[in-house]
Amino acid sequence: MSAPSPTAVPSFRSRIGCDARSGYYAAPRRYRLHLSLSCPRCLRIAVTHSLLGLDDVLPVTLLPAVPDAPDGGHLELRPLYEASSHQHPGPAAAPVLSDAWTGTIVSTHAPDILRDLARRFGGHGPDLFPYGAEEAVENIGRLCDQGITAAAQRAGQPDGDSTARDTALTTLLHTLDTLERQVASQEYVLGGEPTLADVELWVTLVQLDTVHRHHLDAAAVTHVTDHPQLWAYARRLAAHPAFGAHLDLDGIARRHHAHCRGEEAAGAAVQIVDWAASAREVSRPVSPTPTRACRSRS
């Protein structure tokens, strides 16, 4: 299985407000995102940034796929961390939302960054975090986190208790069954328009196939594969410019091998989605759009 990420506990959690009274508020080119596309949290932010068409509003700096500092952080981010927290004790990890006006970090907490992009920087893109759908978006996030990622990690532990592995695999397959039914009759996971729930689910499916699959046996991967509507959904989104253009398959593999503590199992040979082929279907860039008027509720 993969080693725990050094950014599991966020160091900075300021939020973008609605106007100047908030301190941090949405202003064109005031902020910058620092992302490593091999990291699932960063990949979610990159996809969201593109869906909203924020290239001209919120610049992005891409970092190496594998952190290059001895403590597991990024050397390029160390000055930002030191400017924001004197002698910061932890790794200088991505993702980071920084403030050019102060030269400090606003947030390293991916869920907050995602919601602030959708609510404060929205542009003229889709309403990715619509009012009234917050609980539904959060529910998909929990399914992805506990029912897919955590369950797949437990199911792939070679030295774990066999009963615990079987229970984890049952949880994983039950979650995939639930999501299979949900995407079978609609274009996106919550209906006819994309939301942050789709960003969450798509990146989770990418990780399941490109990372966690490598530690499952072939029979388990065959059961995982047996969700045709869900994997068709994943392939379809991979062909969307805002999704597939950010896929760094080589980087994901290198990051996984750099942090992996488990042994490869037979499932590694059973690829579920040809992500490279799906991403090659991307045919047009996402046009940047101006900032949408800030909404009054958080």
Each residue of 37-76: pLDDT tens digit? 999 999 999 999 999 999 999 999 999 999 999 999 999 9
**Domain ranges in the chain?**
20-120, 134-280
Q: What percentage of the chain exceeds 70 in pLDDT?
A: 90
Q: How confident is the model at residue 259 (pLDDT cuts 50, 70, 90)?
A: confident
One-letter amino acid at 282 equals: V
Note the pLDDT tens digit of each residue in 156-203: 987 778 899 999 999 999 999 999 999 999 999 999 999 999 999 999
Half-sphere exposure of 104 (CA within 13 A, CB side): 12
Note the pLDDT tens digit of each residue in 81-117: 999 988 888 899 999 999 999 999 999 999 999 999 9
Architecture of the CATH domain 20-120: 3-Layer(aba) Sandwich (3.40)
Q: What is the pLDDT of residue 5?
A: 45
| Strands 104-107 and 31-35, sheet pairing | unpaired
| Strands 31-35 and 60-62, sheet pairing | parallel
Distance between CA atoms of residues 168 and 175, nearest Å: 11
* Cα 183–Cα 189–Cα 192 angle in degrees, nearest 5: 95
One-letter amino acid at 217 equals: D
Q: What is the pLDDT of residue 297?
A: 44
One-letter amino acid at 149 equals: T
Q: Is the pTM of this model over 0.75?
A: yes
Q: What share of the chain is helix, strand, coil (3-state, %, to 5)?
A: 50, 10, 45
Q: Are 87 and 81 in contact (CB under 8 A)?
A: no
Architecture of the CATH domain 134-280: Up-down Bundle (1.20)
Which residues, including other chains, have CB under 8 Å from residue 128's CB and lie 6 or more apart?
48, 51, 52, 117, 118, 122, 194, 195, 196, 199
* Cα 252–Cα 8–Cα 240 angle in degrees, nearest 5: 40
The dihedrals phi and psi of 263, each to the nearest 5 degrees, come to: -95, 145
Mean pLDDT of 244-262: 90
Mean per-residue pLDDT of the chain = 89
One-letter amino acid at 234 equals: A
